[in-house]
Amino acid sequence: MDTQNSTSAPEEKAGPSVFRGIKNFFINVYDVFSFIFRFFREAFTPPYELRELIKQCWEVGVRSLLLITVTGFIVGLIFTKQSRPSLLQFGATSWIPSLVSIAIMRALAPLVTALISAGRVGSSIGAEIGSMRVTEQIDAMEVSGTYPFKYLVCVRTLATTISLPILAIYNGLIAMLGGFLNVYVNEGTSFATYVQQFFQPLTPIDFISSIAKSIVFGFTIGIVGSYQGWNSSSGTAGVGKAANSAVVTAMFLVFIEEVIIVQMTGWFR
């Protein structure tokens, strides 16, 4: 009897724990969607924080240019260098500019830019808002009659949504230059010919899908970083956890969105 009672006790405890986990999951989902709906409700209603929006666009965009430039150039150079031996076997090295353009403009430029921004910008947003939460600065702003959600969350999310498409286009152009360097050294192709071959296979749907992906990625990075920081707790440890969760969650969602948007884009080709 004692043995039967001891074995049934864990089973009885496992049941409530499973239901508790399911309940917490749906509560978290509700909190996330409530946070997103609150953003859309407050982001486009006055008062507008235009000065802070410009400042955050500067922080997200301009301060990321050096990292985006180096990464984009290396991506274009390495991708061209790795593709050349395979095409050389078939005597199709003249297709390198077209191959680079399709790979970079359709996928690599928005995706690489999003991943870099998730690591740099997403963690920064999560840590900044999280530190303000644990030091009760957000509570002080609410008491003083300001709009902390609009000032902190809406502005930063809009800044990432606006800045990321611009950074993605810039990243693609820099990657194009990186690819040209390899093509020029090995093939002697002129810059005018390379640019013509680079843009020849691209269609309007390619540019539209890349910009659309960048907008979605930028919104995801901003809203995830803001959500993690806004709901952080447990002092400085909570700030670090919020920054880490912002990066990991944003990167995971970016990959999921990439798959979905690529599938949707394929329907229009």
Mean pLDDT of the region 210-224: 94
Mean pLDDT of the region 241-251: 88
pLDDT at residue 170, as a whole number: 94
Check residues 143 and 119 and name the one with the higher pLDDT: 119
pLDDT at residue 5, as a whole number: 52
Please check whether residue 160 is in contact with residue 121, taking contact to mean a CB–CB distance below 8 angstroms.
yes
Per-residue confidence at 26, pLDDT binned at 50, 70, 90? confident
Mean pLDDT of the region 258-268: 86
- Check whether 78 has a pLDDT greater than 80: yes
Please check whether residue 80 is in contact with residue 179, taking contact to mean a CB–CB distance below 8 angstroms.
yes
Distance separating alpha carbons of residues 154 and 162, to the nearest angstrom: 12
- Check whether 1 has a pLDDT greater than 50: no
Q: Where are the domains of the chain?
A: 50-266
- Check whether 248 has a pLDDT greater than 70: yes
Mean pLDDT of the region 5-25: 62
Mean pLDDT of the region 151-161: 92
- Check whether 146 has a pLDDT greater than 80: no
User: Which DSSP symbol is given to 203?
Assistant: -
Distance separating alpha carbons of residues 193 and 96, to the nearest angstrom: 12
Residue whose C-alpha is closest to residue 80's, from 201, 181, 199 = 181
* SS3 per residue for the chain: CHHHHHHHHHHHHHHHHHHHHHHHHHHHHHHHHHHHHHHHHHHCCCCCCHHHHHHHHHHHCHHHHHHHHHHHHHHHHHHHHHHHHHHHHCCCHHHHHHHHHHHHHHHHHHHHHHHHHHHHHHHHHHHHHHHHHHCCHHHHHHHCCCCHHHHHHHHHHHHHHHHHHHHHHHHHHHHHHHHHHHHHHHHCCCHHHHHHHHHCCCCHHHHHHHHHHHHHHHHHHHHHHHHHHHCCCCHHHHHHHHHHHHHHHHHHHHHHHHHHHHHHHHCCC
Mean pLDDT of the region 74-100: 82
pLDDT digits (tens, 9 = 90+) for 104-132: 888 889 999 999 999 889 889 988 888 88
Mean pLDDT of the region 241-253: 89
Q: Is 246 left (phi over 0), alpha (psi -120 to 50) or beta?
A: alpha
pLDDT at residue 93, as a whole number: 74
* Residue 77 structure tokens: 């150079």
